[in-house]
Amino acid sequence: MHPLPDAFIRTIHEVYGARGAVWLAALPGLIDACAQRWNLTVLPPFALSYNYAAPALTGDGRPVVLKLGVPNPELICEIAALRFYAGRGAVQLLEADETQGILLLERLLPGMPLRDLPDDDQATRIAAEVMQALWRPLPPDHPFPTTARWAAGLEQLRARFDGGTGPLPAALVDRAEGLFRDLLASSAPPLLLHGDLHHENILAARRAPWLALDPKGLAGEPAYEVGALLRNPPGVETWPDLRRIQARRVAILAETLRLDAQRIIGWTLAQAVLSAWWSIEDHGSGWEGAIQIAEGMADLP
């Protein structure tokens, strides 16, 4: 196995603690077992964040991706979502082992991420088309969390800071809490959403122009889906004239998806504050960009 990046090791320890340390120690053996189980030649990994993912070749030369993560409900929901999508709008799941946190996936080639498109309007329209390909009624007895459950996670911010908001602007947190309350109370019937559909989770492919990967699997109204896109690509908060760009994105998404622009803005602001809290919760830092996005959304008409 190729050496693991220090940042990846730190992330696994920060997020999973002792359980993550046990998983990291077992990872070389897991990769070897997968290589034997599916007759794989495993190549050096991609850039790693919360999971181990590496390109691989099957015995007959077919390109695939081997993905392993610390077994957890989120990974189980990803497997369930990919099974339900069955390759429609998303990468094809070839094999999976929920108990060990293992996925064997189709490799999307050429694999250019949506972030590499220079035309932001075009990228926004493509993302909307992928959303439409993915959204469908929820299966019965599904395991997917709801948008309400995700929103409830923001309550932990005040619990952490004795009723305050820590480093996050109090007025913005107040607004996010109110938006979550109002938007959840008036939501359209829920569908299966990707849950994290942004520019790095949409890749160019051969069997379809663009396909999604890494779904969270989330039950919620369609307008919720656009929040991740409007917080991305990484560094978008530093773009010149961001207010104009975001207003243009909202207009494109509202028209293409037939959604209310104010719901798009509201969900994006609320989710950006929630994302900032998750950064504090997981790492203690890295929340500033999400708050800049929330502040920008607050300025849109």
> CA-to-CA distance for 155 and 126, rounded, in angstroms?
34
Taking the C-alpha atoms of residue 122 and residue 144, their distance in angstroms, rounded to an integer, is: 31
Structure tokens at 226: 């656009």
And the tokens for 267? 């969900």
Phi, psi of 140 (to 5 degrees): -65, 145
Of 30, 40, 34, the residue nearest 70 (C-alpha): 30
- Could you confirm whether 174 is annotated as catalytic? no
Catalytic residue among 196, 214, 241, 282: 196
- Give the integer Cα–Cα distance in Å for 89 and 128: 12
Strands (E), the chain: 41-42, 52-57, 63-68, 93-97, 102-106, 191-193, 202-204, 210-212, 218-220
Rounded to whole angstroms, how far apart are CA atoms 283 and 69? 18
Which are the catalytic amino acids?
Answer: 196
